Amino acid sequence: MSKQEPVTHVVIFKLDKNKFRPVHCAQLLAQMRGSIPGMIALKFGPANTQPFGDYTDRSQGYTHVLVSKHVEPAALHHYQDHPLHIALVKYLRSVTVDKPLAIDVTSHL
């Protein structure tokens, strides 16, 4: 990755449906939006396991996805250390049933 390429951060989770609190999570995400320099997008939501009739569910038990986009890799590094991101991570770790899976990609792909 060159210094100036946008980077997209993707994390998939297996969340405990009995512990996960969507409203609390939404509040944490709302606090992050517009507060972390270099983060240009932040999306979070449940897996859509039935988008159409004969769809084959390939989610392998993963229930939710987080996608954030950053202006450059340095901004992703800043995001990772930001107190609001750390608060979200702490909360999500408390409601996960398995380790999340994460990948970072350059956005031009």
Letter for the amino acid at 77? H
Which residues, 6+ apart, have CB-to-CB distance to 106 below 8 Å? 1, 5, 6, 7, 8
**Does the pLDDT value for residue 109 go beyond 60?**
no
CA distance 69 to 106: 9
- Local structure of 101: helix, strand or coil: strand
Domain ranges for the chain: 7-48+62-106
**Does the pLDDT value for residue 1 go beyond 60?**
no
pLDDT at 31: 98
pLDDT digits (tens, 9 = 90+) for 70-89: 999 999 999 999 999 999 99
Q: Name the average pLDDT for the chain.
A: 93
* Structure-block tokens of residue 63: 């229930």
pLDDT digits (tens, 9 = 90+) for 2-52: 458 999 999 999 999 999 999 999 999 999 999 999 999 999 999 988 889
- State the greatest distance between any 2 C-alpha atoms of the chain, in Å, as a whole number: 43
pLDDT at 50: 83
CA distance 77 to 99: 21
**What global pTM score does this model have?**
0.90
* Secondary structure element (H or E) that encloses residue 9, with its range: strand 7-13
Provide the CATH number for the domain formed by 7-48+62-106 in this structure: 3.30.70.100
pLDDT at 7: 95
pLDDT at 51: 85
